[in-house]
Structure 1
Amino acid sequence: MSTINTLGPHTPRIALIGECMIELQQRADGSLQQSFGGDTLNAAVYLARELGEGGAVDYVTALGDDSFSDAMCQGWADENIGLGMVQRLPGRLPGLYCIQTDAAGERRFLYWRNEAAVRDCFTTPAAAPILAALPDYDILYFSGITLAVLGAQGREKLLATLIEARQRDARIVFDNNYRPRLWASVEDARVAYRSVLPYVDLALLTVDDEQALFGFADCAAVFAAYEQVGTPEVVLKRGAEACLIRCGGESFEVPAQQVERVVDTTAAGDSFSAAYLASRLKGGSPAEAAEAGHRLASRVIQVPGALIPK
């Protein structure tokens, strides 16, 4: 499979698949600030900002018919994210989560999402034309959280879509984002991840998540496992440390950008992934893409919440 930045001269069409939730940010005085967030949605927003007119970004999800869902769609439209792949399910609601941060900016999440509309994203009658349209995109982007919230039926339909998209020369991008609470067991998660990994062209991985899910001893073991699967491009995100990249048979590292004060690490990895992908789509090398990822993430972690102002 060709690399991410060999799509040709046309403007790429990118579909990001996943969940956006109502976000509550708890402040030091105990008050709550309400916004919206979710890993693939955060990536979609930052990707749309980074690409500008150089790409068309659509979000694929299911929402309710409530005022929060209305506000989400309006916000996405304001960010130039296409809404044509968003289902609105009557009587349903989006999920909700609360972010609590400690003095060092590290996060603790509290979730209310078991009845979220996205869990039926690929199983409703209205999902059929969406699933049929997805293989025609140039890039399909999803995460480990996407795998979890879609459920077993949804994952089967996603897998079939990835296979067909690959046959049409689409590129598949995967951010591992493993959240144990979303899975019945670590074994279930491993089965789901292993089913999709053979079709991934760019793996954007958090080392801690890989170790928690698969028990890898170190970064070399992660690279070895993905080389065996056949993933052409692998990026290991390591927070404030340099990221490690393996692409085209070469391995190298790109230092992170240091900041004086970390306010909130929410969406640090999502923003890195978005800027990395945007740079690759614009013809940047993996090293240049990693520099772009670090640059955006360093800005994001200095502002509360998942999405920083434009």
Structure 2
Amino acid sequence: MNPKPHIALIGECMIELQHRADGSLHQSFGGDTLNAAVYLRRELGDNGSVDYVTALGDDSFSDAMCKHWAQEGLGLSRVQRLPGRLPGLYCIQTDAKGERKFLYWRNEAAVRECFTTLAAEPILAALPNYDMVYLSGITLAVLGEVGRERLLQALIETRRRGGKVAFDNNYRPRLWADVEAARLAYRSVLDEVDIALLTEDDERALFGYADSEQVFAAYPGIEEVVLKRGADACLIRCRGERFAVPALKVEKVVDTTAAGDSFSAAYLAGRLKGGSPQEAALAGHRLASRVIQLPGALIPR
């Protein structure tokens, strides 16, 4: 792979409201693939470049998002700005143990037209030129059926040209009409994945797999499968070898938002920089352990 790889992450960034204990709301921005893009850019440093692929409105919140992304060093050439549209919005409520509950307002979000506009044509044509394309289960949900099919063709072409496809399963039942629709969409994409970053609980909820062995058995054709298990050791199967890498213990968990996203970002950065799966997983655990000790999805640099 290119020693300084060019990576595209596809998905949705939303307006984030953090519900504080005193009843106030703190406004920022977040979304699973955006979180991963920011952390990947930070972890890579000068060892690669990261573009974010999405659609926003022409409003002041969308302006602020783009300004923030530019400050983080993300490439914005694949961001569409759709007149009259708005980004989605979500609110995070956390309990005393740091576990979170999400409330969403996203049905009319601009990202739903990300790959259905005329402006999407050159973006879809450009995706196969990246060294790696990253997406998530939430990406699949918000794009809709037409957008998913067009993206799938781009992923097939990416791999044909020698690029890698990385996928984080991030299953959110409320985003799908039913579980069968989600399964169909996931399976079509998983056939075109090189690195699968899977949360064990999400695999259980979506496909009913009872344990890690069933998860690994379900994906014999994927070269590298990383199974994230929260505070337990992550399990990795890479080119026929198996590894277990213990998580780092944290004394006080404040907010688990973006724990999985940050792990995935640091893991991929480690692999892209030439590290072993074990080294990459340790880097993922280190970053996630810092993220969960602060509120919100994106911690200060």
TM range (shorter): over 0.9
Deviation at 1:53?
A: 1.2
Query: Is 1:93 aligned to residue 86 of structure 2?
Result: yes
Query: Is 1:49 aligned to residue 42 of structure 2?
Result: yes
Deviation at 1:211?
A: 0.4
Distance in structure 1 (CA, Å) of the matches to 2:177 and 2:41: 34
Distance in structure 2 (CA, Å) of the matches to 1:134 and 1:221: 32
Distance in structure 1 (CA, Å) of the matches to 2:169 and 2:281: 17
- Secondary structure of 1:34's counterpart equals strand
Which of the residues 69, 91, 96 maps onto 1:103?
Answer: 96
Residue 242 (structure 2) aligns with: 251
Residue 279 (structure 2) aligns with: 288
- Secondary structure of 2:230's counterpart equals coil
Query: Is 1:235 aligned to residue 241 of structure 2?
Result: no
- Secondary structure of 1:82's counterpart equals coil
Residue 191 (structure 2) aligns with: 198
Distance in structure 2 (CA, Å) of the matches to 1:98 and 1:266: 12
Residue 153 (structure 2) aligns with: 160
Distance in structure 2 (CA, Å) of the matches to 1:159 and 1:260: 42
- The answer for unaligned runs of 5 or more in structure 1 is 1-6
TM-score, normalised to structure 1's length? 0.97
Give the length in aligned residue pairs: 301
TM-score, normalised to structure 2's length? 0.99
Distance in structure 2 (CA, Å) of the matches to 1:8 and 1:134: 16
Distance in structure 1 (CA, Å) of the matches to 2:234 and 2:187: 23
RMSD in angstroms over aligned alpha carbons? 0.5
Residue 62 (structure 1) aligns with: 55
Distance in structure 1 (CA, Å) of the matches to 2:217 and 2:2: 30
Moved more, 243-252 or 271-280: 243-252
Residue 264 (structure 2) aligns with: 273
Report percent identity of matched pairs.
78
Distance in structure 2 (CA, Å) of the matches to 1:192 and 1:90: 29
Which of the residues 184, 194, 202 maps onto 1:209?
Answer: 202
Where in structure 1 do 4 or more consecutive aligned residues deviate above 6 Å?
A: none
Which of the residues 14, 25, 28 maps onto 2:7?
Answer: 14
Deviation at 1:8?
A: 4.0
- Secondary structure of 1:208's counterpart equals helix
Query: Is 1:146 aligned to residue 122 of structure 2?
Result: no
Distance in structure 2 (CA, Å) of the matches to 1:152 and 1:217: 29
| 1:73 alignment partner AA | C
- The answer for unaligned runs of 5 or more in structure 2 is none
Distance in structure 2 (CA, Å) of the matches to 1:123 and 1:197: 22
Distance in structure 1 (CA, Å) of the matches to 2:23 and 2:241: 49
